[in-house]
A = this chain, B = another copy of it.
Amino acid sequence: MSGEFDLIDWIRNQQRNSPLIHIGVGDDLAALNWPAGDLLLVGVDQVIDGVHFDSAVHSPRQIGRKAMNRNLSDCAAMGCLPTAAVVAVALPKNRSLDEAKELYNGLREAGDAFDCPIIGGDTGTWDGKLVVSVTILGKSAGQKPVTRRGSRPGDGIYVTGPLGGSILGRHLTFEPRIKIGREIAPHASAMIDLSDGLSRDLPHICKASGVGAIIEASLVPIHSDAIELSRRDKISALDHALNDGEDYELLFTSNQDVAGGIRVGRITAEPGIFLEDERTNRISLIPRGWEHRIDA
C-alpha cells in the first residue's frame, strides 16, 4: 500500500510542466530538450546523516533543502544557471512515507526557487541511515563557466559575505548565491563556493591556477555567528571565519573590484598561501577546514 512505487507516483504528480522536459519523472530515464549552444554543466553532491546533518535534530524538509541548495551553490560557483536535478535517496526503513514526502518537499522548494525541477530519482529503503544524493544539471546560458584555474598574480581575492560559525544554523538555511554568481562571473578569473572553509577552498584555486595567495586578516568579514561561537569555545572569531566549513558564500578572484565582492587578499606569483596581519607579518595559512578522511 505504501511502497516505493507509491512514492514515485506521488512525485510524478508533483512535477510541473516545462518546455525543457521532453520526458518527465516515471520512465527509465527522463529526457530534456537541451538548448543548442548551451554547455551542459553537471555535478553530484550528497548529504549524509551524521556528517552533513543529524536526522535526530533536523527535519526531513531541512535536510532536503540543504541537499538541493549545496548543488545549486555549485552552479553559483560556475556562474551557470541550474536547469534540472535528479535525486537518489537511501531511506532508513523506519522512516514513514510522510517523512519521505517532506524530504522531497524540501528538495523541491529549494529547486523551485531557481526554476530547477526534479526530473528523476531513485528511492531505496535499507537498514542504514539517510543518504541523499543530488545531481544537478546547469546551463551556461551565455556565460563561459568560471573554473578554479584562471587566477593571475595581482588579482584580488574576494568573498560574497561574512564567514564562520555556520554550524549554529546557517549550514541548513543558506541561500545559494546563484544571482550574484551570474553577476560576478563575467569579471571573475576563478571562482569556487566556500563549502569546506576559506583555508581549504582557497588552495583549490591556487593549485589549479598555479599561483600563491595572501589573505589580509583585517579584511576577512566575520559573521556574527563566528563571534558567538568564539564566545563559547574560545577559538578566535577570525579562526572560525577562516576555517569553518559550509558558509556557501562564493570565493573568487578578479583583476578589478566587483559589486558584491568583499576583497580579502591578493593572488601572488610565489607559491604558498599566507595570512598577513596589519603589520604585514605573514604566517602560513594552514588548511583547517573540513575534510572527510578515508582511513588508509
A interface residue numbers (CB < 8 A to B): 1-7, 22-23, 26-34, 36-46, 48-52, 74-75, 77-78, 80, 84, 86-88, 90-91, 93-98, 100, 119-129, 131, 133, 135-138, 140, 145, 147-149, 191-193, 208, 291-296
Contacts and interface: CB of A to CB of B under 8 A. Distances in A.
B126 A50 contact: yes
Given A22-B39, A32-B42, A125-B293, 6 more contacts: A3-B293, A4-B292, A4-B294, A28-B192, A31-B40, A50-B126
A198 to B, nearest CB: 16
A242 B47 CA distance: 37
A84 B77 CA distance: 22
A34 B34 contact: yes
A147 B40 CA distance: 23
A148 B23 CA distance: 11
A142 to B, nearest CB: 14
Contacts of A43: 28-30, 86, 120, 122
Nearest to A51: B126
Contact of A28 (B7, B48, B78): B78
28 contacts: A1-B296, A2-B293, A3-B291, A3-B293, A23-B145, A27-B147, A29-B41, A29-B75, A30-B42, A31-B39, A31-B41, A36-B36, A42-B120, A43-B120, A44-B86, A44-B120, A44-B133, A45-B88, A46-B124, A50-B127, A88-B133, A90-B131, A93-B293, A96-B294, A100-B294, A125-B293, A125-B295, A128-B129
Contacts of A129: 128
Contacts of A127: 50
Closest CB pairs A-B (n = 5): A2-B296, A97-B296, A29-B43, A135-B135, A88-B133
Q: Work out how many copies of this chain go into the complex.
A: 2
A107 to B, nearest CB: 13
A11 to B, nearest CB: 13
Contacts of A125: 292-295
A147 B28 CA distance: 8
B295 A93 contact: yes
A42 to B, nearest CB: 6
Contacts of A122: 43-46, 133
A136 B29 CA distance: 9
Contacts of A36: 36-37
Contacts of A32: 39-42
A48 B128 contact: yes
A28 B74 contact: yes
A145 B295 contact: no
A128 B33 CA distance: 38
Nearest to A290: B4
